[in-house]
Structure 1
């Protein structure tokens, strides 16, 4: 059992382990910002002036609709989280933390089904014998680590915990908190089952991070026959020398989702729906 001193030291060590990635991420963020400013459009995320794909005609039926939020957790969304050095610029640029809360508030006001799909790693997960690049990194820095599947010891205010401002919505006794997904998509948890049991087939999707868990949830939910609108400014992603994760995801959102909305648009759809 770890005492508070050990726990605090572990947090320091986790942050130290990602120092190199933080520096790289900051440099990449600066590079993206500089190149964006140099572009004629100024904003690499702006909607295309002449879109080639047909516009969305998705209309919500609130009895069949759920807000789904992926990974609304400290390690992704707080300066205290271990990934802040590489996702922080994107989170701040899109106002992601506040926008997710706005969606929670709007969904609760209309009594929508709300589901949270969290990401947890238990000690046994560190025994995996092969991993992808990000799996290696997440395990190295202790991202989303919990002491075990049957204990909440050390969970509160850890990187795996939910952002404090979201807890009133998540812990209201109505929100579905699914079993954890282990990589990126919801194939490994009970999200689809929970949604089907609530007779939901329309999804408003938000959360972290755009090109990983959010996009993977989008893909799996579409394959499962759900109609999915992604809220583009209620997500964010890492910026690394390997690329801007948000820009990669935004392209795929536009190609695949039934709708791509801003938070303001999503709230209006929720408020105006029958």
Structure 2
């Protein structure tokens, strides 16, 4: 029998990771690259269900965005990794472009908190996420968005290290291939997350 976790309104936050058009809208630079796993997981059905239920429950929403590409980004860096090379080459989420705008359904609404942009994979590293969560009394974080085995996983791991209760919603995220999804939720996730749930299980917990 699945364990039901409690999510007190005043202590819980939803973290929506990288909700950009480049990821989540048809025509975005990474939409096709994540489409297979997104369709397999039901991402485009489940993510709006999660967000709607969270808002209905009056749980606070935090938008956790990747750095929007700007001219000169990464110039002179000593240790540019593969993902950052890809961002620079494709000019992902470029500032001032449609791809760098938030998806109209998954981006911020009035009252949401938009965190400083992260340069690599963790939404906590070199941003104000930890400070904002603590200032709002948050102790439990629920993570959705892109990509399951990079930014979602890294943010979740960092959150656990900082003492937060971490929930992964495995069918409200996507990756570049099925192996990424498997690693995130079957191999790596159980080593750090306090709960790994599907959307139906999360919604049942919220309603209870």
| 8 Å Cα contact 1:58-1:258 kept in structure 2 | no
User: Which residue of structure 1 aligns with residue 35 of structure 2?
Assistant: 88
- What SS does the aligned partner of 1:213 have? helix
- Asked whether 1:160 is paired with 2:108, we answer no
Q: Normalised by the size of structure 2, how large is the TM-score?
A: 0.91
Larger Rg: 1
| 8 Å Cα contact 1:56-1:258 kept in structure 2 | no
**Higher helix proportion, which one?**
1
- Asked whether 1:236 is paired with 2:174, we answer yes
User: Which residue of structure 2 aligns with residue 271 of structure 1?
Assistant: 207
- What SS does the aligned partner of 1:166 have? coil
Determine the C-alpha separation between the residues in 2 that align with 1:78 and 1:64: 31
* Residues matched between the structures, number: 203
- Asked whether 1:220 is paired with 2:155, we answer no
Give 1:159 shift.
1.2
Unaligned runs of 5+ in 2: none
Give 1:56 shift.
5.1
Give 1:200 shift.
0.4
Determine the C-alpha separation between the residues in 2 that align with 1:128 and 1:198: 37
Give 1:247 shift.
1.4
Give 1:78 shift.
2.2
1:184 to 93, 98, 121: 121
Give 1:57 shift.
6.2
Q: CA RMSD in A?
A: 1.7
Determine the C-alpha separation between the residues in 1 that align with 2:196 and 2:47: 15
2:65 to 118, 126, 150: 118
| 8 Å Cα contact 1:77-1:91 kept in structure 2 | no
| 8 Å Cα contact 2:69-2:87 kept in structure 1 | no
1:257 to 185, 193, 197: 193
Give 1:164 shift.
1.8
| 8 Å Cα contact 2:5-2:205 kept in structure 1 | no
User: Which residue of structure 2 aligns with residue 52 of structure 1?
Assistant: none
Determine the C-alpha separation between the residues in 2 that align with 1:166 and 1:206: 10
User: Which residue of structure 1 aligns with residue 136 of structure 2?
Assistant: 198
Unaligned runs of 5+ in 1: 1-54, 147-153
